Amino acid sequence: MRLRRLRRTPALRSLVREHRIHPRNLILPVFITEIEDDPTEVASMPGVFRWPVNRLEKVVEAATAARVGALLLFGIPADKDAVGTQASAPDGIVQRGVRELRRVGFDGVVITDVCLCEYTEHGHCGLVGKDGTILNDPTLERLADTAVSQARAGADIVAPSAMMDGQVAAIRDALDEDGFQDVAILSYSAKYASSYYGPFRDAADGAPRFGDRKSHQMDPPNDREAMLEHEEDVAEGADILMVKPGLAYLDVLRRTREEFPYHPLAVYNVSGEYSMVKAAAERGWIDERSVVLETLVGFRRAGADLVITYHALDAAAWLSDQD
């Protein structure tokens, strides 16, 4: 009976609750497109849209009302080539998106994804050799150029996700040399070669045209290796660390929190995790609100400071209702 005394009423449970999540802990991913003229729902991600630049004001209105912590931008360009030229173009889709967010008055945090997969005709995260090998060092210059271009457009944080060795150092050096010492780096420091990414690749037109990403993304059975990835990125200048995906890697998230207690830590509640919840909820098998909020507080309990999630707008509204 002693342990149940403080569970008896909602007020008592709230009083002694150990972990809470707030809308400011949530980061909303946003897909910006040059292909569609109108917002277009992603078939495999109900409720998620690809947004033309000239319609981003709607995103700003929703994000501001929800009080989410930040927006994380991904671009879908009209033109792709072997080296992902549009990733670093001054008038690239993400660069234009950042400037539009500022033009319409968004004063929150803007994060930009730094990778080449959405911009290359082969769909890989880096440059590709004649034998199909992903070329690490030549890719670093492209990633650095992309990060600088996004910083010039007004990004607060750049988020390298290509999982190339040395990418954080290359980006930090390039930002500093161009006068962007204050632009922070959110590193996808432990990004696994996961099966949970399928819907994202639909949304971003980013699926590889051949092969896979196992040569550079982490092998799912490994957790000690993740600590080495974090350690290298910290040494290279990462300001925020990340574990991606979330649900199948809560042990990695917890271990990261314990071994890197002083760094802000993000987790990516990825597209497959989102779509599974949406599909089950549509069939009436689960209560979406309860499952989402339970999942988000689980990330916080495991040690995440920030949660990148496609549920961000709905979750923020539900959290406000709780208050």
Strand partners, 109: 70
What pLDDT is recorded for position 214? 61
What pLDDT is recorded for position 272? 96
From the CB of residue 133, how many other CB atoms can be counted at a distance below 10 Å?
12
Amino acid at 287: D
Residue 323 has pLDDT above 60, yes or no: no
What pLDDT is recorded for position 269? 98
41 compared with 81, residue with greater pLDDT:
41
Percent of the chain with pLDDT over 70: 95
3-state secondary structure of 127: strand
5 compared with 266, residue with greater pLDDT:
266
Amino acid at 57: E
Q: Are 287 and 278 in contact (CB under 8 A)?
A: no
Identify whether 244 is a catalytic site residue.
yes
The predicted-structure confidence for 57-95, as pLDDT tens digits, reads as follows 999 999 999 999 999 999 999 998 888 899 999 999 999
What pLDDT is recorded for position 307? 98
What pLDDT is recorded for position 137? 92
The predicted-structure confidence for 267-308, as pLDDT tens digits, reads as follows 999 999 999 999 999 999 999 999 999 999 999 999 999 999
Residue 17 has pLDDT above 90, yes or no: no
| Token pair listed for 96 | 């234009």
What pLDDT is recorded for position 168? 97
Nearest to 255 by CA among 209, 204, 302, 211: 302
Task: Report the alpha-carbon distance of residue 260 to residue 273 in Å, rounded.
Answer: 25
- The active-site residue, picked from 58, 80, 130, 191, is 191
Compute φ and ψ for 30, nearest 5 degrees: -130, 125
Identify whether 278 is a catalytic site residue.
no
Residue 258 has pLDDT above 90, yes or no: yes
What pLDDT is recorded for position 83? 87
Nearest to 193 by CA among 240, 245, 229: 245
Q: Which CATH code of 3.20.20.70, 3.40.50.2300, 3.40.50.300, 3.40.50.1370 fits the domain covering 20-242?
A: 3.20.20.70
List the beta strands (DSSP E) in the chain: 26-33, 40-41, 49-52, 70-76, 109-114, 127-128, 134-135, 157-160, 184-185, 190-191, 241-244, 265-269, 306-309
Q: Are 316 and 71 in contact (CB under 8 A)?
A: no
- The active-site residue, picked from 58, 80, 244, 278, is 244
The predicted-structure confidence for 196-254, as pLDDT tens digits, reads as follows 998 888 876 766 665 566 677 889 999 999 999 999 999 999 999 999 999 999 999 99
Cis amide leading into 160 (omega within 30): no
What pLDDT is recorded for position 212? 61
Model confidence band, residue 22 (pLDDT cutoffs 50, 70, 90): very high
Residue identified by tokens 């760094």 is 263
| Token pair listed for 52 | 């033309």
- Is beta strand 49-52 parallel, antiparallel or unpaired with respect to 40-41? antiparallel
What pLDDT is recorded for position 28? 98
Task: Report the alpha-carbon distance of residue 10 to residue 14 in Å, rounded.
Answer: 6
Percent of the chain with pLDDT over 90: 76
Average pLDDT over residues 114-119: 90
Nearest to 116 by CA among 150, 168, 165, 80: 80
Q: What is the mean pLDDT of the chain?
A: 92
Q: How far apart are the first and last CA of the chain?
A: 28
What pLDDT is recorded for position 12? 75
Residue 116 has pLDDT above 60, yes or no: yes
- Cα→Cα distances 296→21, 204, 299, 305, Å: 7, 24, 5, 11
* Residue spans per domain, the chain: 20-242
What pLDDT is recorded for position 131? 86
What pLDDT is recorded for position 190? 96
Task: Report the alpha-carbon distance of residue 206 to residue 174 in Å, rounded.
Answer: 26
Task: Report the alpha-carbon distance of residue 35 to residue 18 in Å, rounded.
Answer: 46
